[in-house]
Chain A
Amino acid sequence: MSQLLLDVNGLTMQFGGLKAVNNVSLYVKNRQIVSIIGPNGAGKTTVFNCLSGFYIPTAGSVMFKGNDIAGLKDFEISRQGLVRTFQHVRLFSNMTVIENMLVAQHRHLNTSLLSGLFKTPSYRRLEQEAMERAVYWLKEVDLLDSANRESGNLSYGQQRRLEIARCMVTQPELLMLDEPAAGLNPNETKELDELIIKLRDEHEISILLIEHDMGLVMGISDHIYVIAQGTPLADGNADEIKNNPDVIKAYLGES
């Protein structure tokens, strides 16, 4: 039996009188690509914010690798191996690509101040390892040639890829991508498609995806959840979702 990596039950997020997320449950197994889709404003990103600790959910449990992580601080959750990206690219745009990759490894590099001040061998070794990990992932997303460029000067597609690489270098087990294909051209979307599949198949991580590009979602998802107005509407594999009358109604409206 493949173990549940993420097990969300009855997740509810209430802002005053507004239930942005209402009783959402979802499961992610190891090495799975799971997508959340739904019309704009359905509460998909709110779900992400709850899972990654940016919001503390009003109710419900979030089990990650068997531990309840609901209510943990954002940085504690990402240290457990659940890392996310954002709808808008959030790079440190004044820094070079390689520096972005090193900041992400801050936790692994967190040596004592003194060893850094005197450049002790152990400090150098850690830094060297961090560099190697950074280079490895830059190669994986095909950005090695731009390693010394300022990240703000990269093209949009490159910035998106760097964001994914920056997450991967923290060695997560579940990567949550919030609309990674937004603003990409068809070519770049195809590359992203391949990258996500590679992450699952070669690097054996799971991916939780919010996306509006149905071609991408239907093509790569192992399982799809549909949310409308904060409430779960349907779930199943691509074919089941495509033919579900409720889903069609939610997207196209009553006909």
Chain B
Amino acid sequence: MGKLYNAIFSAGITFVLACLMIGVKLDTDGATLGVTGATPEQWAWIFGGIALVFFSQLFSDQIDAAFRKIPKPQVSHLIPVGDKMTQLKPWLMAGVFVCMVIWPFMVSRGSVDLATLALIYIMLGLGLNIVVGLAGLLDLGYVAFYAVGAYTYALLSQYFGLSFWVCLPISAGMAALFGFILGFPVLRLRGDYLAIVTLGFGEIIRILLNNWTAVTGGPNGISGIAKPTLFGMEFSRKSKEGSTLFHEFFGIDYSSSHKVIFLYLIAVVLVAFVIYVINRLMRMPIGRAWEALREDEIACRSLGLNRTAIKLSAFTIGASTAGFAGSFFAARQGFISPESFTFIESAIILAIVVLGGMGSQIGIILAAIIMTILPELAREFSEYRMLLFGLTMVLMMRWRPQGLVPMKRPVLELK
């Protein structure tokens, strides 16, 4: 009986929501405002949806049981264990790296560009993973540090003409500084409270960039940001005064894909660097301290661990990774505006971390690739993008709440 009641209730809610959102439409016709109802076809869809909700609620137990029967993917047996793995690992890594480097020369320009975007999200995901996955601090304003990195490079390049390679560490440093400044007062907060404060910080940065027109160009953004160079060689068709061009130097024909591939390769190197650093950090005392703090703060305090310093280090290192990604993003786009750094970006990055499996690097890399490539593949459904996004989240949480590839801690063993 409770089931039936529940099903009717859910169907009712669906009906109200669907009627409001799809069933009626407001049309402006000159000065008048008209209301048009949905077409019969749309009504059919709406009632189909309501029926679906009704029956899925009514038979939720059976559906759950069916879900449980779906075998969970078992990947563990595919990976060789123990000693074999430690032997194979360097080769495997090298192989992946070589493939990553060769791959862009064989595919279209568009795919390389998309891969570069995916790599940026991988960087962001890995950075946020330090804060959320390892240290357990929920940060909803992560995009702020991304913005700081991007704007640091854009402004330094515009006002002082500094090159990408000089600005890369500066951007990371600036983002880290902002992380530090924000972290200092807020890290005594926990959980939900921390999430709200970081959410606010993300908005503050975006609104600041939007309104500080004199410096940041406001909503118009900054355009014409210099592209990265290879030892001072540019990748454009015509040279500015005094600079060498890549294709002239090597005596090959100009191709616009050189630049795209070059950017991609930079991204690969940056991602490799970030992965290396985070991998080391996880095995270092500081990494263990992050995890210990996440597990039991009181025990940490009694053992002489300074929790503020440890949380701050996680926050700062996470932020600097975002700064890295941000300055590369600015260099790739050539144009940035506050539009690129809205809350939805933070949400997507967080979704990558959660979908991938908190703390798990492989999982996050996979999730970042999926999250960037899926919307491109499903271009026809671009109107329903957020809907699909939500659906994926619900299904994932139902089917695999611990993420695509749950975290496996790098366990330190006593020999």
Give the residues in chain B near A98, CB-CB below 8 Å.
412-414
Interface residues of B (CB under 8 A from A): 277, 280-281, 284-286, 288-289, 291-292, 295-296, 298-307, 409, 411-414
* Measured CA separation A104–B303 after assembly (Å): 6
Q: Is the CB of A90 within 8 A of B292?
A: no
Residues of B within 8 A of A105 (CB): 285
Q: Which of A38-46, A78-86, A194-202 contacts B (4 or more CB under 8 A)?
A: A78-86
Q: Which residues of A contact B300 (CB under 8 A)?
A: 103
Residues of B within 8 A of A111 (CB): 285
Please measure, in the bound complex, the distance between the C-alpha atom of A74 and the C-alpha atom of B300, giving whole angstroms.
Answer: 10
A78 CA to B301 CA in the complex, in Å?
8
Known: A102-B285, A116-B284. 20 other contacts (CB 8 A): A52-B302, A54-B302, A73-B306, A75-B306, A78-B304, A79-B304, A83-B302, A83-B303, A86-B298, A90-B298, A92-B291, A93-B295, A94-B295, A99-B411, A102-B412, A103-B285, A105-B285, A106-B289, A116-B286, A148-B411
CA A145 to CA B298, docked complex, whole Å: 27
CA–CA, A131 and B285, complex, Å: 12
Which chain A residues in 86-116 approach chain B with CB under 8 Å? 86, 90-96, 98-99, 102-107, 109-111, 113, 116
CB distance from A169 to the nearest CB of B (A): 9
Number of residues from A at the complex interface, CB < 8 A: 41
Q: Tell me whether B303 and A96 are in contact (CB under 8 A).
A: no
In the assembled complex, which residues on chain A have CB atoms less than 8 Å from the CB atom of B298? 54, 86, 90
Candidates B303, B411, B413, B414; contact of A103 at CB < 8 Å: B303
Most buried by B among A84, A103, A134, A135: A103
Instruction: Contact check, B306 vs A103: say whether CB atoms are below 8 A apart.
Output: no
Contact pattern, A 140-171, Cβ under 8 Å of B = 1, otherwise 0: 00000001100000000000000000110010
Tell me how far the C-beta of A49 lies from the nearest C-beta in chain B, rounded to whole angstroms: 10
Known interface pairs A98-B413, A116-B280, A148-B413. Does A75 touch B304 (Cβ–Cβ under 8 Å)?
A: yes
Contact present for B303 and A78 (CB under 8 Å): yes
In the complex, whether A214 has a CB less than 8 A from a CB of chain B is no
Partner of A107 from the list B281, B295, B302, B305 (CB cut-off 8 Å) is B305
Kindly list chain B residues whose C-beta atoms are within 8 Å of the C-beta of A102. Answer: 285, 288, 412
Question: Which of A84, A92, A113, A148 is the one whose CB lies under 8 Å from B302?
Answer: A84
Q: How close is B74's CB to chain A, nearest CB, in angstroms?
A: 22
Given A91-B299, A116-B285, A167-B303: A131 and B292 interface contact (C-beta under 8 Å): no
CB within 8 Å for A92 and B307 given contacts A102-B412, A117-B277 = no
Chain B proximity of A2: nearest CB distance (Å): 26
- CB distance B303 to A106 under 8 Å? yes
Task: Quote the shortest CB–CB distance from B281 to chain A (angstroms).
Answer: 8
Whether A54 and B301, one on each chain, are in contact in the complex, defined by CB atoms closer than 8 angstroms, is yes
| Least CB distance, B48 to chain A, in whole angstroms | 46
Which chain A positions have C-beta within 8 A of B291?
Answer: 92, 94-95
Give the distance in Å from the alpha carbon of A176 to the alpha carbon of B202 in the complex: 44
Of the A-B pairs whose beta carbons lie under 8 Å apart in the complex, a sample of 12, sorted by A's number, is A75-B301, A79-B304, A83-B303, A92-B296, A95-B295, A106-B304, A106-B305, A113-B281, A116-B280, A116-B284, A117-B281, A134-B414
